[in-house]
Amino acid sequence: MSSRGRLQSIGVLALLLGAALFAWRPTSSAVLYSGYARTDSGLLSLEITVTPPIGLPGTEMQMIVRITNYGDLALTPSIALRLPRGMAADMYALPAGATFNLQENQIDWLPAVPARGVQEFTIDITVQAADVTNPEQRVVGLLRHQGDEREAAAPLWLGIAPLVGNVTAKGQVS
């Protein structure tokens, strides 16, 4: 086989490899940050939803916490919601039976959930700072009832936008 034939076969292989890489695109990692979590403990179900699940410093998000009782008797679970560092909640919008622990950045909620009923609250949270080295964060909810403890973790992205716009050389340093 001549050197020209080898170059042609290598060129064809490179073209096929390029076409395969172009056709196969990895999915965006942004889909991993759903902002949703759910856990069940017996007749209780805890759901946490944070929208939007991706935020920059200054972004206002909304967290909805819902506890559902599927039983025939009223239940009183204990729920702890740990917010990531760098996030602040509107403490004045907490529901009855809830307190905010500033040191732990945690909401403690003791709802009375009626039989076959639902209790929920919505609270605004703000991203105040982002950890550039660790933007993948979680809002963790702990559901405790009659000695059983279950955890739900809603994945979030709290960081700097990964896209870079036009970068031009400046003549003077700021």
Place of tokens 């946490």: 48
Number of Cα atoms under 13 Å in the Cβ half of residue 9: 6
Number of Cα atoms under 13 Å in the Cβ half of residue 93: 13
Residue 79: name the closest of 15, 148, 138, 126 by CA. 148
Answer whether residue 3 shows pLDDT above 60. Answer: yes
- DSSP string of 55-87, one letter each residue: E-TT-EEEEEEEEEE-SSS-B--EEEEEPPTTE
What residues does 89 pair with on adjacent strands?
125
Task: Tell me the per-residue pLDDT of 33-44, one tens digit each, with 9 for 90 and over.
Answer: 899 999 999 999
Please give the C-alpha separations between residue 75 and each of 18, 47, 68, 142, in angstroms, as whole numbers: 60, 16, 10, 16
Task: Tell me the per-residue pLDDT of 93-151, one tens digit each, with 9 for 90 and over.
Answer: 999 899 999 999 999 999 999 999 999 999 999 999 988 888 999 999 999 999 999 99
Beta carbons within 10 angstroms of residue 99's beta carbon: 11
Residues 106, 118, 65, CA angle at the centre, nearest 5°?
A: 25
pLDDT in the model for residue 4: 73
Rounded CA separation 65/124 (Å):
11
Which of 43-47, 90-94, 138-142, 165-169 is predicted least confidently? 165-169
Long-range Cβ contact pairs of 134-138 (< 8 A, separation 24 or more): 135/159, 135/160, 136/33, 137/84, 137/87, 138/84
pTM across the whole model:
0.74
